[in-house]
Amino acid sequence: MTVSMTACGKDNQIIGSWVAEDSNDILQFNDDGSCSAPFTYNAGWIESADSYIIKDDGTLVFSSSGGHANDSFVKVDSEEEALDDGSSYYISGDTLIIDKEKYTRTE
């Protein structure tokens, strides 16, 4: 059984920098699968996720090189669903909603 996952490629809409509307937090997703995602912070281990993959089913999975900051989010079809459910995300054009926070692409 083969599972295909990607963090890079032309079809990866998430690549780039994103700024939160309410908190001004900045997310960065790179085409090599690395990322900066402060909302994945695990205070017990003082680390945040530093890499991500997007599974074939659209699930966004974060992990950290230390192994203590891991999280996943299911892709949904509407902003409303993503704003209502902290375990989902929505992306369209320059809008990303994840962990119930709305972000706008900056580059």
Residue 37's CB is within 10 A of a number of other CB atoms, namely: 24
pTM for the full predicted model: 0.85
Predicted pLDDT of residue 11: 60
- What letters, b where the CB count within 10 A reaches 16 and e where it falls short, cover 49-77? bbbbebeeeeebbbbbeeeebebebebbe
Instruction: List the chain domain ranges.
Output: 5-105
Predicted pLDDT of residue 14: 97
pLDDT means over runs of 10, the chain (107 residues): 42 91 92 94 90 97 94 97 97 96 93
